Chains A and B, each alone.
Chain A
Amino acid sequence: MSEGRLRVALAGQPNSGKSTVFNLLTGARQHVANYPGVTVEKKVGHFSHDGKRIELVDLPGTYALSTFSLEERVARDFLIEERPEVVVQVADATTIKRHLALFLQIAEMERPLVLGLNKSDVARKNNISVDAAGLAEFLGVAVIPMSAKTGQGRTELKQAIVRAVDRGPAKLRIDYGPLEPVIAKVEALLMDIGGLPDHLPRRWLAVKLLEDDAVLREQFRDRGTETVPLLAQVERFREEIEKEHGKDAGELIGMCRYRLAAATGDKFLTARNPRQARLTDRIDSVLCHKVFGPLILVGVIYLLYELAIVQGYRLTTYTWPLLEGLKGMLSVILPPAAYIYDPVVRSLGLWFIDSVNALLNYIPVFLVLFSLVAFLEDVGYMPRMAFIMDRLFKRFGLHGQSTLPMVLGGVYIGGCAVPAIMSTKGIPDERARLATILIIPMLNCLAKIPLYILLVHAYFPAHKGVAMFFVATISLFMALPVAKILSLTVLRDRDTAPFLMEMPAYHLPTIRGVLGRAVERTWLFVKKIVTVVAAVAVVVFVLLQYPGLSAVQQDDYTGRGRAALARFVAAAAPTAVGERLTDEARVMELIAFSERYKDARRRVSSTEASEAVNARFAQLDPGFYEIVMRGKKSPAARQLDRAFGALERERQTIRREIRAARIDASFLGQIGRALEPVTQWAGFNWRINVSLLSALAAKESLVATLGAIYQQDDEGGASLEERMKATETGFTPLHALALILFMVLYPPCLATLMTIKLQTASYKWMLFSLGYQLGLGVVVASLVFTGARLLGLTGLQAMYGFFGLMVLVTVAVGCIDRAPSRAVAGAPADGCATRA
């Protein structure tokens, strides 16, 4: 508590505008979400006032300070352990009563408090008036009417924070009526316990113990034997209270608090016409309408895809050249390409930048997607989405709030599991949250799409539409049954929570808030994910490149390279530039010149511009230019150009063969072969295995690896589809189908695994997610492939058959009426079931 520095905690309920107040005070970019519980981490900001430097910590938004949810525990632990000098509670002036209940709980912890009455302007507009001065006197703390949106009350709030230190804790004392004598007795017993931190108010401890606060009880138990009599006595008190009042002590205590909050609200608040609720109700009557509601929901999701995935992806055509430029810059810095064997540093560097670029390419998509999501969150649509979908999702062990994560993950086509899993944070029901996290990687993330497109175009050319529809929807019909099965089995014992959700009033978001959050989330993605993927890219590179070629192979390629070089040198000797082209180093200069020239020509489209390129290169090296130039040239130059063309082609061929041979001999190649006996049942040969393995880190790699494996032998413009079909002569649409199904169930990419680890706080779930999807993928692909073979079905027939089967399974599984209903009602079971 050094002089001039203050640590201040910012508390408040969800939708109170707490995050906006945080921004207002600190100026930091941070977000306001109209979705319960978006802010789980604590955010910290700084500001100065009146010569004091203030560190403001944004606590998670909570309705109360019990320990039923993670957020509440985080908030309470912070208040207990970090002992902020001042606590600021942000309350929504339009619904003050509810916020006062939280206020009373904070006040009991006896920290200096300030109450910020946010949205006072909205309250005024709705004819709700709060007697701030009266309230301040009654509560014994500063009450500041303000509006975070307009900035009104900012200075006053800062002033109040600084003054609150001297003012001390709120003077208000909750009267627990008939329980007061018991509380006093427990307080007295607490005096005998040594070593309790001084800053913990004894009265608060007593009340919490009587409420049977699980966390506190455990903490006391951990203190050792001296607390045993105390805890036993508390238990006896609780039993007595229950016998006398017919109610649990916790419930009685809660009731006293809430009654006081309600009475206080009634005393200082006059609401003549709660227009806000009327307006929100009216909007809900459309957005949550029986018929229009679902239709609008589908429309919103469709728009989200259309704008982010389709239009956003179009933006990448503008950003991709920038990333290519980055690669170009790097390739200049790296050691130059060699004639046959490039330096490892160069190959690694280029591989690395390709891997990173593959992810950075998604930035425009993410920016658009995150902006739209932030917009929907701020407007208040997300809880409505949950409201509409809850019944359906509940049948599959999910939750209404699983809707947003599933949309983000690519419920139809195109999404990303990383933001999707991050957005599961708000789901209060632990079991549904885990089920959601575990099925999201099965949805169609953007990186899976290139493979789907490749396979559909190559093997279902006559039924592209049907096949793409199958790909887009089959993932959902596999994910839903899996979610249900998981929640009935491995997740059976996980906590569930009641579905109680605030439907916040609609309001117009600010552009700054929406864009700020989109940028923040995109940056988070770049920072966390790209670094990991970059590191793994290096590992995959090693696995694909080593142990490398045998000495015999190496000599063979070197020999062929030398022969081609000698032929060209001989052809060049009689010409004017021939005397410059005597050895490998010199010829490499010509090759580099030719590549730069081709590259420059590729970048320009107009005739004038290409004239300019020509002139530039002619000036750079007239001798070389004569060989490589396009257009009319002397017969001698033409002849030399032909010889040079032959050299370039031979060099390309050799290098390509080397790359293929390397993969062939690589560790990954060996593993791919070793897996063939298993994967043959799914129709995968070792080449497919290698590409699948290379995609473990990031699925983007898959098509790139296929590209490297199915190298073409001439300069012709055969597409990858054609090359794949040419190499895999035995491949049928059925093979493609099995591969597609395996891809749907393919294990989460590294970035996703990291996110799963982060969100579940356990390596166990991360590994489980990896393992079960891999196992399921192999089983499903094998069953479909081998099964269809035995039945003599074509790929297309198998596709229809499997789709029909999965739809049936989904419906059937959905009809299983939650067998462990005892667990679904888990939380209230001790109360509502037994007491009723």
Chain B
Amino acid sequence: MTLRDISPGHSCVVRSIDAASALGQRLRDLGLMPGRTIKVLRNAPLKDPMELELEGYLISLRRAEAQAVAVETNHE
């Protein structure tokens, strides 16, 4: 499952990031790392990009890029 599949209001834990170079670096720069919990807050009005919360701050990224983040959901 990737971050792209998580619907708004749900949380997940990052398992791995399948992106080297720029995107992987950028994601890490913003704190998206294996083990981190991410909450998907909402999608943009046209469904893309999506807004996430992690570690007390908010970021947004396009769905195409969210696909590079493999996640697993918390047991709810």
Which chain A residues have a beta carbon within 8 Å of chain B's beta carbons? Answer: 63-64, 66, 68, 94-95, 97-98, 101-102, 128, 248, 250-251, 254-255, 258-259, 262, 271, 274, 276-277, 280-281, 284-285, 288-291, 293-294, 383, 387-388, 390-392, 394, 400, 497-505, 824-825, 827-828, 830-832, 835-836
Contacts and interface: CB of A to CB of B under 8 A. Distances in A.
Interface residues of B, number: 39
A248 B20 contact: yes
22 contacts: A95-B55, A97-B31, A98-B31, A251-B20, A255-B33, A280-B58, A288-B44, A294-B45, A392-B46, A498-B22, A498-B61, A498-B62, A500-B30, A504-B58, A824-B64, A828-B19, A828-B23, A830-B20, A831-B23, A835-B18, A836-B18, A836-B67
A593 to B, nearest CB: 68
A281 B23 contact: no
Across the A-B interface, give the 8 residue pairs with the lowest CB-CB distance, nearest first: A828-B23, A391-B46, A831-B19, A831-B20, A832-B68, A63-B29, A274-B56, A503-B58
A250 B49 contact: no
Interface string B38-55: 000110111111010101
B23 A95 contact: no
Contact of B18 (A63, A293, A831): A831
B27 interface: yes
A700 B65 CA distance: 45
A498 B21 CA distance: 11
A503 B41 CA distance: 12
A63 B59 CA distance: 13
A391 B20 contact: no
Contact of B26 (A280, A285, A498, A825): A498
Contacts of A498: 22-23, 26, 61-62, 65
A254 B25 CA distance: 8
Contacts of A827: 21-23
Given A98-B31, A255-B28, A289-B45, A497 B56 contact: no
Interface string B10-24: 000000001111111
Contact of A284 (B20, B28, B51): B51
Nearest to A288: B42
A501 B57 contact: no
A505 B58 CA distance: 8
Contacts of A280: 58
A97 B23 contact: no
Contact of A98 (B25, B30, B44): B30
A274, A387, A504: most-surrounded residue (chain B CB, <10 A): A387
Nearest to A101: B29
B49, B56, B60, B67: most-surrounded residue (chain A CB, <10 A): B56
B68 to A, nearest CB: 4
A505 B64 CA distance: 25
A604 B21 CA distance: 71
Given A97-B31, A250-B20, A390-B62, A63 B26 contact: yes
A502 B57 contact: yes
B56 A387 contact: no
A53 B23 CA distance: 41
Nearest to A92: B57
Contacts of B67: 832, 836
A716 to B, nearest CB: 56
A502 B56 CA distance: 12
Contact of A825 (B28, B58, B64): B64
B55 A97 contact: yes
Nearest to B43: A290
Given A262-B33, A388-B45, A499-B61, A832 B51 contact: no
Given A250-B20, A391-B49, A503 B65 contact: no
Contacts of A262: 31, 33, 36
B51 A288 contact: yes
Given A281-B58, A503-B51, 13 more contacts: A66-B25, A68-B25, A94-B57, A97-B55, A254-B24, A387-B60, A498-B65, A500-B59, A500-B61, A503-B58, A831-B19, A832-B23, A835-B19
Nearest to A250: B20
Nearest to A383: B60
Contacts of A274: 56
A284 B42 contact: yes
A504, A831, A835: most-surrounded residue (chain B CB, <10 A): A831
A248 B23 CA distance: 14
B21 A258 contact: no
A748 to B, nearest CB: 30
A395 to B, nearest CB: 10
Contacts of A383: 60
Contacts of B47: 391
A128 to B, nearest CB: 8
A254 B41 CA distance: 27
B57 A830 contact: no
Nearest to B42: A288
Given A97-B55, A277-B57, A830-B20, A499 B62 contact: yes
